[in-house]
Structure 1
Amino acid sequence: MSRISKYKLKKLIKNISLLVVVVIIFLSLGELIARFANVEKSEYDVFFMEGNSNLSNQLIPNAEGYFKDHYTKINKDGFRDNKDYSVKKPRDVLRIISLGASFTFGEGVDLEDTYSKQLEVSLNNYCEDKIEVLNMGVSGYNMVYELETLKEKGLKYGPDLIMVNLFSRPNVQYRYFPLKDSLKRHSYLFAYLRKKYQIVNLKYLTAKSEQVEGGEIFVNTIGREQNEKTLQEFIDIGKGKDVSILFLYFPILEDEEDFVDPDVEFYKNMLEYLESVNEDNLDLTDAFVGKNFEDLWVSKNNHHPNRKGHEIAAEELHNHIVKKIEC
């Protein structure tokens, strides 16, 4: 290599190194400014992290703060609760695992107002403090993810009963990417720029997937065959572990007159299938017929059930479960 070529190479390396240093300084200053300006990070970034090969997203262990305007705490094992539980179940305790999506998680309500915790209180009053209900619901989950949560997290707690909330729109999932997720949770600058980008993207660009706060939402191709396979695996686990499986359907509170769920036909087929293969199923639809749904919403902009909506579900569950348990 000639002297001129070596000189040019050294100069190029020097310029690239200088550029890298300038970019790092610029980004560091931007991060400091964003932090001093107290740029608010998305609440999804605070509570959700990327999943593993089997789960799209997971709750961050020990995360706490305000989610949908309500104080929310995630325990050390990564599910919503203000306390941790011993993996080994006490002898005199009947333990229930509650699986589901955002209705189960309790978007827009306090932990004690979720149907899982209201059920825990009512059953303890009935059974004199011998019941634990572990709320393992995660917003955005479908039945496949609920099944993986049960296998990876729920079964080790030795449940006596597993409640699976079929809920609605099980084919909607959040897609998270490790690097992006890490930046969202740790960088105020990235969170700020990403939020601005999404605003522009929604206004001026044609997005391939619907943009939502916290991630890209997409419609999965999980169909009836896959759902039936998943339901059957729940049932097989219950039989293998000698644990009761209760499938419940908590309908979307949208249409007051006709009670039309966008996926009602899908769920009708699924419930019919369950009737043929599982003994313990609970459809909550009738409990909500005739109710003014607006009175059961968190708000006009958030149609998740409020405390009263959860209370109706908890009462139905209580009446169903007390017929099957021994206190």
Structure 2
Amino acid sequence: MFLKLWPHLSYFLSDFSLYLVVNFVLFCLSLFFIYKIFKSKASERKKKLLLSLVFVFFVLVLAFSVFEAYFRYVYDESDGLGYLKVNSKWHQRHVIYNAYFYRDRDFTVEKKEGVKRIGVIGDSIAFGGGIKNVNDRFSNLLEKKLKDSGYKVEVYDLGKPGYDTEGEIAEYQKVKNLDFDIIIWEYFLNDVQPQEKSTGTPIIARNSQTANFVQFFSDKSYFFDFIFWRLSTRYQKTFEQLKTADLAQYEDQNILNHHKLIIADFLKELNLENKKVVVIIFPLLAFLGPDYPAGEIHNQMANFFEDNGAEVIDLLDYLKDKNGRDLWASQFDSHPNEFVHRLAADKLFDKVKPLFR
């Protein structure tokens, strides 16, 4: 039993050593001060006051350490922007890559007779950002639904966080030898961003910067880092700025025409390879509601995909009356939660079934 626990214990002792040492030193100092206070000739009232101060100080440090341990080892929610330190812990716990460096099981080049192979391309949504268990991700749910319905199928997820359309197409080209029969293309409205000149990346980088003293304490403490970002208004402002930057790309005809040309060329290539394509469009969950700012863009891109031979599912049709916050993966992660992934899998199941005939 001890041998099994030792790796965890040794990691804890190494990772939490600063706080263990601080608490031990403060405990010893507290005992020393208590001894000195009792031995002093101060009045009883003054002794009680000094003892109270020592006790309160020690309890505050101990409480901070307990919260620190909680956010290091227990708290388990992701951060969609990657600002919070807890996000790295979330990835360590829940993200495992295969030999192709995708968040999926290992892929096999050889395809068994009678098996249909589906490739899912996309960004962090396809990757399963904020989804702890990959079996709750839409690609995995789709595979299970198809298999439970008697279809011989393999679904390989090629999702890459932070990728736009050009990057997603490049990923497909790397593994096209896997001989997919059907391509599911997860599309998000920031995919229009030019690969080398994204206007969103500088916003995320700029807003992640903090004052030197804040950065110092954030580097040392998960608890401090969490509280800082929890109280900061910069997080929501970043979403607003990203929305503005992303939607502005659709108003720039040069960028939009280039984006559509890339999509059309890729769909043409897939058609020549006799691949069936289903595009699923995810809405901006942070801005769902009666004043949703991108409805026309959804219609425009859905029509464009259809005109170029793809089947299209627009999840805005099913989510527009929902409270967007209820659909977030976590309080700091606007990626779709398990409910949205189940909805996506259900709609994809209905679209994909006829393609097996």
TM-score (norm 2): 0.58
Question: Are the equivalent residues in 2 in contact too, given 1:161–1:243 (CA < 8 A)?
Answer: yes
CA distance in 2, matches of 1:255, 1:160: 35
Cross-structure match for 2:211: 200
> Does 2:262 align with 1:230?
yes
Distance 1:267 1:230, change over 3 A: farther
Offset, 1:303 = 1.5
SS across alignment from 2:184 = strand
1 CA distance for matches of 2:189 and 2:121?
Answer: 13
Q: CA–CA distance in 2 between the matches of 1:37 and 1:172?
A: 43
Q: Distance in 2 between matches of 1:287 and 1:98?
A: 21
Correspondence for 1:18: none
Determine the structure 2 residue equivalent to 1:321. Answer: 352
Q: Which amino acid aligns with 1:160?
A: D
Contact 2:278 2:311 in 1 (8 A): yes
How many residue pairs match? The answer is 238
Contact persistence 2:194–2:255 (CA under 8 A):
no
Secondary structure at the residue paired with 2:287? Answer: coil
Alignment of 1:111 with 2:134, yes or no, is yes
Q: Which runs of 5+ in 2 are unaligned?
A: 1-13, 20-87, 197-204, 216-236, 240-244
Task: Please state how far the C-alpha of 1:102 moved relative to its aligned partner.
Answer: 1.2
Aligned-partner Cα distance in 2 for 1:173–1:299: 28
Q: Which amino acid aligns with 2:146?
A: L
- Aligned-residue offset at 1:241: 1.1
1:79 aligns with 2:102: yes
Report the AA paired with residue 248 of structure 1: I
Partner residue, 1:121: 144
Residue in structure 2 matched with residue 158 of structure 1 by the alignment? 179
Cα pair distance change 1:66/1:84, threshold 3 Å: farther
* Unmatched runs of 5 consecutive residues or more in structure 1: 1-32, 39-64, 176-193, 205-209, 213-217
1:240 corresponds to which residue?
Answer: 272
Q: Moved runs in structure 1, 4+ residues, more than 6 A? A: 33-38, 201-204, 218-222
> Which one has a larger percent strand, Structure 1 or Structure 2?
1
CA pair 315-202 structure 1, distance change in 2 beyond 3 A = farther
Deviation per residue, 1:78-98 (Å, 9 max, x gap)? 1111x2121121112211100
Hey, what's the Cα distance between the residues in 2 that align with 1:295 and 1:227?
A: 31
User: Residue 278 of structure 1: SS of its match in structure 2?
Assistant: coil
For 2:4, the equivalent position in structure 1 comes to none
Percent of aligned positions that are identical = 24
Q: Does 1:309 align with 2:340?
A: yes
Question: How many Å separate the matches in 1 of 2:168 and 2:119?
Answer: 11
The answer to whether the Cα contact below 8 Å between 1:198 and 1:211 also exists between their aligned partners in 2 is no
Provide the rounded CA distance (Å) in 1 between the counterparts of 2:191 and 2:114.
35
Tell me how far apart the structure 2 counterparts of residues 172 and 263 of structure 1 sit (CA, whole Å): 15
Matches within 5 A, 1:58-97: 66-67=89-90, 71-81=94-104, 83-97=105-119
Q: Tell me, what secondary structure is at the counterpart of 1:248?
A: strand
On the 8 A contact 2:187/2:281 being kept in 1, the answer is yes
How far residue 259 of structure 1 moved from its aligned partner, in angstroms, is 6.1
Q: Which one has the largest radius of gyration?
A: 2
Shift of 1:279: 4.3
**Counterpart in the other structure of 2:317:** 286
Q: Give 1:258's match in structure 2, choosing from 257, 270, 290.
A: 290
Query: Offset of 1:35 from its aligned partner?
Result: 12
